[in-house]
Amino acid sequence: MERLEQSGAKELLAWAVSEFGSSLAIATAFQSEGMVIVDIAAQISPHVRVLTLDTGRLPEETYRMIETVRERYGIAVETVSPDPGELEAMVARHGPNLFYREVALRNLCCQVRKVRPLERALGGLNAWVTGLRRDQHDSRADVRKAEEIQGKLKLNPLADWTAGQVSDYIQQHAVPVHPLYAAGYKSIGCAPCTRAVQPGEDERAGRWWWEQDAAKECGIHFSPEGKAERKLDVLLSEILEAKRA
């Protein structure tokens, strides 16, 4: 694992493509980091798998990026959607915009729309790749380039890259850019939960901006601790019970 930690981004991706083949996938929402990884990986193999979470609340610009990847790289992006029964039960019980009311409900929405669908998708993989960088936010400061999670290898090839390095690569290689960056967005997720950032704000400030002193993560890369987590467990169990009813 330490050898992988010392590898450069292209070296790490080349090793992963060779080692895992079709049991490896890049998970991306087509932000800058994800697109850099797609560009590097496509140079290594035209058959690399790319998957994205279609939460049902994505901005139109993100759907456009799916077509852009198909046109530029010849890669048919695999879309991963929430379980219809879980989604119906959650909306029926809490409404479509539950995330504005409290952190626990926002975490529940992320669980149903993002975390659980990704877990199902990862069930058929041995390794996956993300675009996490250590300097994106304090909660990501300890991200490693390679880590084993529940028997699967998670790779973060750009963990030690800066925002400037990402930008330089995009310019040098004419990598497609998500249209919302031109509108002032720095981090792009679901449409209701993402806004442009103001001068001086960090990259994650536009995510769930109405929350105060809450972890700016959806649960895929960070597990909330304390009360929010315990309440989330209760809320999720209620949704699963309602689905079975």
Residue 46: pLDDT band with limits 50, 70, 90: very high
pLDDT reported for residue 204 = 78
Task: Assess whether 218 carries a catalytic annotation.
Answer: yes
The Cα 20–Cα 141 span in angstroms is: 27
Q: Which of 109, 190, 193, 218 is catalytic?
A: 218
Per the CB < 8 A criterion, the answer to whether 36 and 166 are in contact is yes
Q: Give the residue numbers spanning the domain of 48.
A: 2-244
Residue 225: pLDDT band with limits 50, 70, 90: very low
Q: Is the dihedral of CA 146, 119, 189, 127 positive or negative?
A: positive
pLDDT in tens, 142-188: 889 999 988 899 999 999 999 999 999 999 999 999 999 999 998 89
pLDDT in tens, 58-113: 999 999 999 999 999 999 999 999 999 999 999 999 999 999 999 899 999 999 99
Residue 223 confidence (pLDDT) above 60: no
pLDDT reported for residue 72 = 97
**Average of per-residue pLDDT values in the chain:** 90
pLDDT reported for residue 232 = 80
CATH (domain of 115)? 3.40.50.620
Residue 228 confidence (pLDDT) above 50: no
pLDDT reported for residue 226 = 38
Tell me the pTM.
Answer: 0.85
SS3 (DSSP) at 48: coil
CA nearest neighbour of 123 among 25, 244, 15 = 25
What's the number of domains the chain is made of?
1
The Cα 170–Cα 163 span in angstroms is: 11
The Cα 104–Cα 117 span in angstroms is: 19
Residue 53 confidence (pLDDT) above 90: yes
The Cα 40–Cα 35 span in angstroms is: 9
